[in-house]
Amino acid sequence: MRIVYLDCFSGISGDMFLGALIDAGVSPKIFEDVVEALGVGARLEISRVNRSGISATKVDVIVSGERDLPRQAGKVPVPHQFGHVHEYSHSHRGTEAHTHPEVHSHDYGHAARGLTEIREVIRKAHISGSAEQTAIAIFEKLGQAEAKIHNVPIEKIHFHEVGAVDALVDIVCAAIGAEALAVDEIVCSPLNVGGGTVTCAHGTFPVPAPATVELLQGAPVFSSGLEAELVTPTGAAIVATLVRRFSAFPAITIDNTGYGAGLRDFPGHANVLRITLGEIVSEGIAAEGARATHISQETIAVLEANLDDLNPQVFGYVMDRLLDAGALDVFGTPVQMKKNRPGTLLTVLAKRADAEKLTEIVFAETTTLGVRRRDENRQVLARTWVSVSTRYGDVRIKIASLNGTIASYAPEYEDCRRIAAERRVPLKVVMQEAVQAYLQAGENLLTTKDTKVHEGKH
What's the structural domain count of the chain? 3
Whether residue 299 is found in the same domain as residue 212: no
CA distance linking residue 354 with residue 372, whole number of Å: 15
User: Is the model more confident about 207 or about 203?
Assistant: 207
Arithmetic mean of pLDDT, 342-367: 93
> Does pLDDT of 49 surpass 90?
yes
Q: How confident is the model at residue 289 (pLDDT cuts 50, 70, 90)?
A: very low
3-state SS class at 121: helix
Report helix, strand and coil shares of the chain as percent, to nearest 5: 35, 35, 30
Arithmetic mean of pLDDT, 333-339: 92
How do beta strands 393-402 and 372-390 pair?
antiparallel
Q: Residue 344: inside a domain, yes or no? A: yes
3-state SS class at 346: strand
Arithmetic mean of pLDDT, 385-413: 85
CATH value at residue 317: 3.30.70.1380
Q: Residue 176: inside a domain, yes or no? A: yes
> Does pLDDT of 67 surpass 80?
no
* Terminal C-alpha separation, the chain: 21
Whether residue 400 is found in the same domain as residue 350: no
Arithmetic mean of pLDDT, 14-39: 95
Whether residue 257 is found in the same domain as residue 319: no
Q: Residue 454: inside a domain, yes or no? A: no
φ/ψ of 316, rounded to 5, equals -60, -40
CA distance linking residue 335 with residue 101, whole number of Å: 42
CA distance linking residue 94 with residue 200, whole number of Å: 12
Whether residue 176 is found in the same domain as residue 65: yes
Whether residue 239 is found in the same domain as residue 301: no
Whether residue 113 is found in the same domain as residue 200: yes
Whether residue 212 is found in the same domain as residue 352: no
Q: Residue 458: inside a domain, yes or no? A: no
Q: Residue 453: inside a domain, yes or no? A: no
Question: Which residues are 257's β-sheet partners?
Answer: 276
CA distance linking residue 213 with residue 145, whole number of Å: 9
Tell me which residue range forms the domain holding 349: 295-379
Highest mean pLDDT among 14-23, 143-152, 159-168, 207-216: 14-23
CA distance linking residue 271 with residue 327, whole number of Å: 34
Whether residue 273 is found in the same domain as residue 300: no
Q: What is the pLDDT of residue 99?
A: 42
Q: How confident is the model at residue 353 (pLDDT cuts 50, 70, 90)?
A: confident
How do beta strands 2-7 and 185-188 pair?
parallel
CA distance linking residue 37 with residue 45, whole number of Å: 16
Q: CB–CB of 138/182 below 8 Å? A: no
Q: What is the pLDDT of residue 190?
A: 95
pLDDT digits (tens, 9 = 90+) for 144-186: 888 888 888 887 777 654 457 888 999 999 999 999 998 989 9
pLDDT digits (tens, 9 = 90+) for 78-109: 323 222 333 333 344 433 334 443 333 333 33
**Residue 53 Cα distances to 45, 60, 218, angstroms:** 22, 20, 33
The amino acid present at 303, given as its one-letter code, is L
Whether residue 221 is found in the same domain as residue 85: yes
Helical H runs in 285-426? 285-291, 312-324, 355-365, 413-423
3-state SS class at 41: coil
